Structure 1
Amino acid sequence: MTTLNITIDADASDAPYEQVRTQISEQARSGALPVGYRLPTVRGLAERLGLAANTVAKAYRALEADGVIETRGRNGTFVAASGDAAQREAAAAAAVYAARVRRLGLSREAAVGVVGDAVRAAYEGGGGGEG
């Protein structure tokens, strides 16, 4: 049986909504939460985690904007078939970046180095973006 596993770390530097967003996103993208998996209601998950409903709602809105989940009105909120959507969005962002740095006159090596630095910073908690 598939279950959503979320742990909120009160001492973490990330806000609780970001912890919820990140954990659901990672579980959906890894396949731990399959496409079509029905997520708990905002209120239900908030109660389970000891969070305000607005906190969970903010996470769900961000996940929906990222294409990770989809809300089907009264039917609930489900994991979307979004792996490809995330790849397409990343490729589009990369194409815009590549065109811009070429216009700025950066070498290919310098452009790749800047991306590497930004990705490291984002994944190591040093900022540099949303994710």
Structure 2
Amino acid sequence: MRIDQDSDVPPYEQVRLHFAQAIAARELPVGAKLPTVRALAADLGLAVNTVARAYRELEEAGLVETRGRAGTVVSAAGDRGRERVVRAARAYAATATEVGLTADEALEIIRAALMV
């Protein structure tokens, strides 16, 4: 992972996004242990609080869980969340088809919704 100091995206968000994408892509499987906050902060040249904020937001989203001294690991809840999104996407696709939207129109609606 690399932090782009020139990016408009704050460093904590870059960290959060990196892990969220890796979890979504299943590059980090359920139970995978994340580096400690202090170790990752040192590796990336960031403040401990910056990495802690990213981890806190990942935990609030249900993607990871902190197990005290055992550290922070990828949560099974994140996998279930992905399954919920897949089910919702299938339902949306069925509705979009039913009302006669083209694939491009349906995708444009999703893109707009994600920008909120």
User: TM-score normalized by structure 2?
Assistant: 0.73
CA RMSD of aligned residues (A): 2.9
Q: 1:28, CA displacement in angstroms? A: 1.1
Correspondence 1:48 to 2:46: no
SS of residue in 1 equivalent to 2:14: helix
- Inter-partner Cα distance in structure 2 for 1:121 and 1:56: 29
Pick the aligned partner of 1:84 from 76, 80, 87.
Answer: 80
SS of residue in 1 equivalent to 2:8: coil
Q: 1:87, CA displacement in angstroms? A: 4.3
Letter in 1 for 2:79: G
Pick the aligned partner of 1:120 from 103, 111, 116.
Answer: 111
Letter in 1 for 2:80: D
Q: 1:65, CA displacement in angstroms? A: 0.8
Gap regions ≥5 residues in structure 2: 89-98
> Which runs of structure 2 are paired with 1:1-131 in the superposition (5 Å)?
6-81=1-76, 82-88=78-84, 116-117=107-108, 119-120=110-111, 128-129=115-116
**Does the aligned pair in 2 maintain the 1:66–1:86 contact within 8 Å?**
no
Give the number of the structure with larger relative contact order, counting CA–CA contacts within 8 Å between residues 6 or more apart: 2
Q: 1:120, CA displacement in angstroms? A: 2.5
Equivalent in the alignment of 1:101: none
- Flag the structure with higher helix content: 2
Gap regions ≥5 residues in structure 1: 1-5, 93-107
**Does the aligned pair in 1 maintain the 2:24–2:82 contact within 8 Å?**
no
Letter in 2 for 1:24: F
Count of residues in correspondence between the two structures: 108
